[in-house]
Structure 1
Amino acid sequence: MDRFVECANIDHFLNILTSQDISDRNRETISKLMIAEEDKLGRNLEYLEFAEKRASKCRDRLNYLRRLRDAFADGTEDRLRAEKVLANFQVTHDLVEEFCCRLRVMVSSSPL
């Protein structure tokens, strides 16, 4: 049951981090909470798979945001907003990818 709660919390934190209107302070706090939940998942391959799926979704979202930004003309208000959203989400994407890397190392170094 604890694993389910940890995974649900991570999904919830990712949803918050992908919102467009989050302050830098709140982003930092939510990121720390997400990392704490991620660390609880431990060395289990099942949770590595969970993290990999979330990372894949983040990569897809990042690519979508890049295409969306590129659809706007340079210098327009829409382009500037899209660039801000993209930059904010890039931070979230990097956190998820970093966690996957840490989890891969933990899984590969754990005894069978």
Structure 2
Amino acid sequence: MHRFVAKANVDHFIGLLSSSDLTPNKRRDITALLVAELHKLAHDLEHLDFAEKKVAEGREKVSGVRSMRNSHRFGTTERQQAEDLLVAHENLQTVLEDFCHRLRVKVVGRPL
């Protein structure tokens, strides 16, 4: 049951971190909560599949936000907001990629 809750929390925290409305302190705190939940899942192959799915979804999200940012003209408020959101998604993606890599090494015994 606790693994189900941990996965739900991961999804929730990723959703929160996808917002551009977070202050740096709130983003830091939510990222710490996300990392704590990810560590609860760092045990077996089933969770590696979950982590790899989140990484793949994150890559798609980063790509989409990058395209959205590129659709705005330089120097506009919209471009700056999109740039801030892109940075947030890239940082989140780094957290997810790092966790997935560490879990893969732990479960499989080697990185891919």
Question: Which stretches in structure 2 are left out of the alignment for 5+ residues?
Answer: none
2:20–2:81 contact (8 Å) kept in structure 1:
no
Structure-1-length-normalised TM-score: 0.93
Aligned match of 2:53: 53
Distance in 1, matches of 2:89 and 2:42, equals: 25
Question: Which stretches in structure 1 are left out of the alignment for 5+ residues?
Answer: none
Structure 1 segments, 4+ long, off by >3 Å, are none
Matches within 5 A, 1:16-27: 16-27=16-27
Deviation at 1:73, TM superposition (A): 1.2
Deviation at 1:20, TM superposition (A): 1.1
* % identical aligned pairs: 39
Aligned match of 2:104: 104
2:43–2:107 contact (8 Å) kept in structure 1:
yes
Structure-2-length-normalised TM-score: 0.93
Distance in 1, matches of 2:106 and 2:10, equals: 19
Matches within 5 A, 1:7-18: 7-18=7-18
| Cα root mean square deviation, aligned | 1.3
